[in-house]
Structure 1
Amino acid sequence: MKTGQACIRSVVCIEAEASIREAARLMREHHVGDLVILGSGRDHQRPMGIITDRDLTVEVIAMDVDMDSVSAGDLFASPKLITASVDDELEETLEMMCRHGIRRVPVVENNGRLAGILALDDVVELLAEQLSMVVGVITRQPGVEARRRA
């Protein structure tokens, strides 16, 4: 399966200059644990960073940082955002996420524009659905076999 098939296409985004209060409000309003920070100007559809609810908790609230003194863009420290391509195999993307110790990864089109986001929670849900189908086959198989014999 391709990463583009497994990712969530509806992504809540924020500009780097936006306040931390705005980030928290957006997360609450949309019931999400992350926001993708988009570039500006020509790069307005390209992900530049990601901010998570954990970033807000660990880097702002726990450190007693003045929320008005820091922007959403201030919280993503990585100079190069790790992304996955819509064409990457899901297994490759999961291996990359494991290697880098990240739970969420923006998914981009071939031109670098944001296509979606893949979170480990979404992968677990996808696997649960597939396992449910396997269980369905296992539980229905004896009945199908019995009908064939009748």
Structure 2
Amino acid sequence: MTIGEICNREVVIVHKDENVIVAAQLMRQHHVGDVVVVEEREGQRVPVGILTDRDMVVKVLAGKLDPSRLNVADVMSAGVETVNEGEETYPCAERMRGLGIRRLPVVNTEGELVGIVALDDLIDLLAEQLRDLAAVTARERRRENRQS
């Protein structure tokens, strides 16, 4: 299964020059833990960073910084890792594990933002696959009981 099949296509975005308070309000409004920072390039939204709720806590609140004086560019994780929507889920999960990150913006072949995949999405997929495997065992037992 590809990342494009399981990713969330409704991505909350901001631009680097937005105030971090605006970004926090968007996270709250949309009930998400991150916003993808984009730049417009030739009519396409290209991810250039990501700002997470953890970034806000660790960098702004714990740093005792005034959020009204900070732009997203001041706090975001720049040089964002992305995943192509055609990539398979297992290699993506391995990369997320290796990088120690929970979310990856999903891009198409042109590098345009098309979604976001989170660790939770991969866990949901794995849980579904495990349920399917468990169902095989249950069906096998029922079949054996009928044949007895």
What SS does the aligned partner of 1:111 have?
Answer: coil
Q: Following TM superposition, by how much is the alpha carbon of 1:4 offset from its aligned partner in structure 2, in angstroms? A: 1.4
Which residue of structure 1 aligns with residue 101 of structure 2?
Answer: 102
What SS does the aligned partner of 2:114 have?
Answer: strand
Q: Following TM superposition, by how much is the alpha carbon of 1:138 offset from its aligned partner in structure 2, in angstroms? A: 1.8
Q: Following TM superposition, by how much is the alpha carbon of 1:54 offset from its aligned partner in structure 2, in angstroms? A: 0.2
- For normalisation by structure 2, the TM-score amounts to 0.90
Task: Give the Cα–Cα distance (whole angstroms) in 2 for the partners of residues 44 and 109 of structure 1.
Answer: 11
User: Is there any run of 5+ residues in structure 1 with no aligned partner, and where?
Assistant: none
What SS does the aligned partner of 1:45 have?
Answer: strand
Change (3 A) 1:27 1:93: same
Which residue of structure 2 aligns with residue 131 of structure 1?
Answer: 130
Task: Give the Cα–Cα distance (whole angstroms) in 2 for the partners of residues 65 and 10 of structure 1.
Answer: 30
Aligned positions, number: 148
Which residue of structure 1 aligns with residue 34 of structure 2?
Answer: 34
Which residue of structure 2 aligns with residue 55 of structure 1?
Answer: 55
Deviation per residue, 1:91-130 (Å, 9 max, x gap): 2212222222211110100011111111111111111121
Task: Give the Cα–Cα distance (whole angstroms) in 1 for the partners of residues 4 and 125 of structure 2.
Answer: 13
RMSD: 1.7
Which residue of structure 2 aligns with residue 89 of structure 1?
Answer: 88
Whether the aligned pair in 2 keeps the contact of 1:38 and 1:44 (CA below 8 Å) is no
What SS does the aligned partner of 1:121 have?
Answer: helix
Task: Give the Cα–Cα distance (whole angstroms) in 2 for the partners of residues 43 and 17 of structure 1.
Answer: 18
- For normalisation by structure 1, the TM-score amounts to 0.89
Task: Give the Cα–Cα distance (whole angstroms) in 2 for the partners of residues 44 and 75 of structure 1.
Answer: 23
Give, as a single letter, the amino acid of the residue that structure 2 aligns with 1:3.
I
Q: % of aligned pairs identical?
A: 39
What SS does the aligned partner of 2:49 have?
Answer: strand
Structure (1 or 2) with the greater strand fraction: 2
Q: Following TM superposition, by how much is the alpha carbon of 1:41 offset from its aligned partner in structure 2, in angstroms? A: 5.2
Task: Give the Cα–Cα distance (whole angstroms) in 2 for the partners of residues 43 and 16 of structure 1.
Answer: 17
